[in-house]
């Protein structure tokens, strides 16, 4: 199911972008900290964390999970920009 979800998102992007001559390749990965995610998607900090919490009524299984930037127990986390943008595209078409 995870693979089909990723494949669907890929097809959605291809459909929105139209024909592409070059191969799909991400040249760089941009990480967003929580304040940048808040500014980009317009949701509050608590709503973002509620979307990731399986026990929350606002849980969204498709919302991107943050990545750990360090091995420390309470270390820094960040979201991948392309994953946030893909999530936004799925919101437009749902």
pTM of the model: 0.69
State how far the Cα of 12 lies from the Cα of 46, in Å rounded to an integer: 28
Q: How far is residue 10 CA from its own chain's centroid?
A: 13
With bands split at pLDDT 50, 70 and 90, how would you rate the model's confidence at 1? very low
Mean per-residue pLDDT for 6-15? 55
What CATH number does the domain located at 2-92 have? 1.10.1660
Sequence spans of domains, the chain:
2-92
DSSP string, 9-40: HHHHHHHHH---SSPP--S---EE-HHHHHHH
Q: Tell me: the pLDDT tens digits for 55-70? A: 999 999 999 999 999 9
């Amino acid at each position: 199911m995870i693979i089909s979800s990723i494949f669907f998102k890929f097809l959605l992007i291809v459909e929105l972008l139209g024909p592409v001559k070059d191969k799909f390749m991400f040249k760089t990965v941009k990480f967003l900290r929580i304040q940048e995610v808040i500014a980009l998607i317009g949701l509050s900090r608590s709503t973002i964390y509620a979307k990731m919490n399986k026990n929350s009524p606002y849980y969204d299984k498709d919302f991107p999970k943050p990545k750990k930037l360090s091995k420390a127990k309470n270390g820094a986390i960040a979201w991948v920009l392309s994953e946030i943008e893909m999530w936004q595209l799925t919101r437009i078409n749902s």
